[in-house]
Chains A and B, each alone.
Chain A
């Protein structure tokens, strides 16, 4: 059950929510729409569902043009961030709803409804809650019931709008895994919206990164993380240090810092370039072995890893150090590496850089290089 979106555009007054969006999703995929709030991801999802109608462009479901078809003819299951369960109906009746409102000729009999609802409640592992009412359930339980309700009508597409956005961190983690397993079991084409890059990486087989109503990049989680195509993607997916500078005579110059480049590809563009470096692509070495030196200002234990914030030193010649948006370099060390270095505050360390993504400076979007993605 494929989804094709062709050149979809939607404006609210002066604000462009969707700007010429084209996207193809294959049968059985589990795709994440990822982006900061206001990037148009929810508008795109709601347009595919038939809750919003675009100004131009079209939407094909299974090759049929459904752009102006109302939602009830699209056979989509929709899951809302705030559940939207019917509070005056029991859990059982909530799940049975889609079957009960069918035209009489297609409506299953009472026994069949009962059986189907129990199957679904079993699937979401909440059969024991059948007689309760939604206000009596926890957030995680409500969202699972909402999912069971959406699945009751055997939708061809499952669309989820920030399905875990309103839940606790722990419940969210559990439900993510559960959703992925459910998808492996059911193989219904699924599309979910999230602003949480970790969630997108963990659940989706493909990620669509959106910003300002446009698609920045589409790819597998590994593609997007390892080969970000735009500065936005690089800084939105994971943390990144941005060094501003130029490449000339085989080296990268940022302020007074100089980094000799060995990779032929890296030296190709002799021009102004920004170096995007992931915190874990920086190694801490003895100060004598590296020209790039910094002082440890803050050590943040993150559980499995440590984040080190370091203030760059000017080099021996008395220059003013590298040009970094934030003035700080963030380095991520594994627990093991951190222990073996036995760092303490104020230490002078050398830095060795292992991997860089290059972007033209004018592409840089004014966003602090090391800030985590902003939740909606």
Chain B
């Protein structure tokens, strides 16, 4: 094989490190997951998954993660917009605040949110007046996941928003467009790929989130029990194979959904001539 000259040195070394790290941290654990669950026969796997309690947990996990990621698209967009476009006092402070959910131990977040949103909590009492229960219901899970997922959308949208050419907006208004038309025809389309990325990150994180959710969820089987908790429960019952099957199924579904989002992203790029 002939030596090819490239401008960047260290291709071999960096590829080696990449493959090594990926194997050690991602591929080998995943493989272990697959082999462990292979201890069960196909029928056994099916039985483990078709259980009503397991299916309900899947439903709760995916619907809440989706709802929270969806809400975060709007919230994250608004937060990024405000931080990029308006001159605010203490802007840097606000900016740092966004990342707080990353840094805070999730259990702490969970306990704080539970205390606030419990039926007799500071915020929960107002919801109780309206007849809405937040803590110990799927709604509580969504609240926790919104808190956890907000930085993903905010942080991915912010740099793209910063780089948008403001003169495009002026051009749009000079051509007679209203503010709303300028927003959805000129501003929004370049942000869509970043929004999709933020959405999929928030969604993936929401599926796997454990610490903040278990406190506020109430963990009632069939109603507010999430998949990660179910896995832990199985582990505590020494049902290792059952736990890994659920984990594997959760992983496969999440992977497919992320793939769909990526495909969507690719499609929007292609449609707008960026590829």
Contact = CB atoms under 8 A, between A and B. Distances in A.
A359 B170 CA distance: 43
Contacts of B181: 101
Contact of A72 (B167, B178, B186, B274): B178
Nearest to A81: B167
B16 to A, nearest CB: 35
Contacts of A354: none
B172 interface: yes
B174 interface: yes
A98 B171 CA distance: 10
B177 interface: yes
A78 B177 contact: no
Interface string A86-123: 11111000000110011000000000000000000000
Interface in A152-168: 152-153
B168 A84 contact: yes
Given A88-B273, A88-B274, A133-B272, A82 B167 contact: yes
A146 B174 CA distance: 12
Contacts of A133: 272-274
Which range holds the interface residue count of chain B? 20 to 34
A299 B115 CA distance: 85
The listed residue with most A CB atoms (<10 A of its CB), out of B173, B178, B273, is B273
Given A86-B186, A88-B272, A89-B272, A153 B176 contact: yes
B44 interface: no
A15 to B, nearest CB: 19
B167 A84 contact: yes
B218 to A, nearest CB: 45
A150 interface: yes
Given A84-B165, A133-B273, A78 B171 contact: yes
State the majority secondary structure of interface residues on B.
helix
A101 B178 contact: yes
Contacts of A71: 170, 173-174
B123 to A, nearest CB: 40
Given A88-B272, A97-B185, A77 B165 contact: no
B26 interface: no
Given A89-B272, A90-B273, A135-B273, A78 B185 contact: no
Contact of A101 (B165, B170, B185, B272): B185
B7 interface: no
A49 interface: yes
Interface in B141-187: 165, 167-168, 170-178, 181, 185-186
Nearest to B167: A84
B29 interface: no
Interface string A9-35: 000000000000000000000000000
Interface in A137-154: 146, 149-150, 152-153
B176 A101 contact: yes
B190 interface: yes
Contacts of B172: 86, 97, 101
A152 B181 CA distance: 17
Nearest to B193: A88
B189 interface: yes
B189 A88 contact: yes
Contacts of B272: 87-89, 133
A149 B175 contact: yes
Interface of B: 165, 167-168, 170-178, 181, 185-186, 189-190, 272-274
The 5 lowest CB-CB distance pairs between A and B, nearest first, are: A133-B273, A98-B175, A84-B167, A88-B272, A101-B177
Interface of A: 49, 51, 70-72, 76-78, 80, 82, 84-90, 97-98, 101-102, 132-136, 146, 149-150, 152-153
27 contacts: A49-B174, A51-B174, A70-B173, A72-B174, A76-B174, A78-B170, A78-B174, A80-B170, A84-B167, A84-B170, A85-B171, A86-B168, A86-B171, A87-B168, A88-B273, A97-B185, A98-B177, A101-B172, A101-B175, A132-B273, A133-B274, A134-B273, A135-B273, A135-B274, A136-B273, A149-B171, A149-B175
